[in-house]
Chain A
C-alpha cells in the first residue's frame, strides 16, 4: 500500500540511549534556567512594555503640536489697496497701456483678490 507509514526509525534520535543521555546531559548542563520570580522582578518585567506604551501615547499626542500647517499665499500690496486685477495686469505688462485700456481697467469693479 503506497500510503502506509514509512519506516524512518533509522533516523530516530532515541535509538541510541547512551548518545541521547549524553546529549540531554549536555543540554541540562548548559541550560540557564531563570530563577524564581520575586515581586520586584515581576514589576520590573512590566516596566519595558509600560514605557513603550507611554512613548507611543506621547508621540500620538504631540503630533498635532508639531504638524506643519499649510502656509497662506503672500498678500500683495495691490490686494491690500484694492487695486483692480486688470490694472495690476496692465502694470505688469511691458507695453504701455492705451488710454482706453486704462479707462476700462480703472472702471473694472472687481479688485485683485485671491
Chain B
C-alpha cells in the first residue's frame, strides 16, 4: 500500500460525508480480508462472496458505530465472522441476483481456466476438512498476509496459538493436496 493513500479513518469520514467513491476504496482495500474470513466459515467461494456482500452492506449501515476508525479492519472482521457463522449454521441459498459465474482469472485460455477451476475445487475441499479456526488462520496468513499478532487479535487468542493453528492447517492441507500445491502454478 502506498504511504500517500488515504487512511481508513479518512475514507470513513469521507464516506459518512456522502462520498460513495471513498466507500468503494474502503471495500476494495479490505475485500480480501473479508473474503478470507467468510471462506473460512462457508467453505465455498460463492457463499463467501455473498457473505462479503452482505457484511459490507451491514458495515456501511453501521459505519457511524465504528468508533475507532483506525481499527476498521478488526471491526469489519467481527461483522464478517458473525454473519458468516449465521449463514453457515442455517445453510445458504445462493443470491438470486448472481454475479453470474464462477469467475476465472486467466482471460480466454480455456485450458488454464479449467486448471484454475480444478485447483480451486481441490483447495476448497481440502480447506473444508479443517476446523474453522485453522481455516481462518491459514487463509488470513497465507492468502491475505496477516501477521500472527493481528490474527490473534481477530480470533481472540495468542500469537503462539495462531502459529500452532497455522502449522497444523498447513500440514493437513499438504497431506491432502500433495507437495505440488505450493508450486506457483497460476502466477503470471
Instruction: Say whether A16 faces chain B, with CB atoms less than 8 Å apart.
Output: yes
Given contacts A8-B143, A34-B16, 18 further A-B contacts (CB under 8 A): A2-B170, A4-B182, A5-B182, A6-B170, A7-B181, A7-B183, A7-B185, A7-B187, A11-B124, A16-B103, A19-B103, A23-B52, A24-B31, A26-B53, A27-B27, A33-B60, A33-B61, A37-B64
Instruction: Say whether B162 faces chain A, with CB atoms less than 8 Å apart.
Output: no
Complex interface: chain A residues within 8 A of B99 (CB) = 19, 22-23, 26
How many chain A residues touch B (CB < 8 A): the figure is 33
Instruction: Say whether A96 faces chain B, with CB atoms less than 8 Å apart.
Output: no
Complex interface: chain B residues within 8 A of A23 (CB) = 31, 49, 52-53, 99
Complex interface: chain B residues within 8 A of A9 (CB) = 143, 186-187
Verify B185–A6 contact, CB threshold 8 A: no
Complex interface: chain A residues within 8 A of B45 (CB) = 11, 13
B residues 32-74 in Cβ contact with A at 8 Å = 32, 35, 39, 45, 49, 52-53, 56-57, 60-61, 63-64
Partner of A30, one of B57, B63, B101, B119: B57
User: What is the count of residue pairs linking A and B with beta-carbon distances less than 8 angstroms?
Assistant: 118
How many chain B residues touch A (CB < 8 A): the figure is 51
Verify A13–B123 contact, CB threshold 8 A: no
Partner of A33, one of B39, B53, B63, B185: B63
B28 to chain A, nearest CB (A): 6
The CA-CA distance from A36 to B170 in the complex, in Å, is 46
Verify B18–A36 contact, CB threshold 8 A: yes
Instruction: Say whether B153 faces chain A, with CB atoms less than 8 Å apart.
Output: no
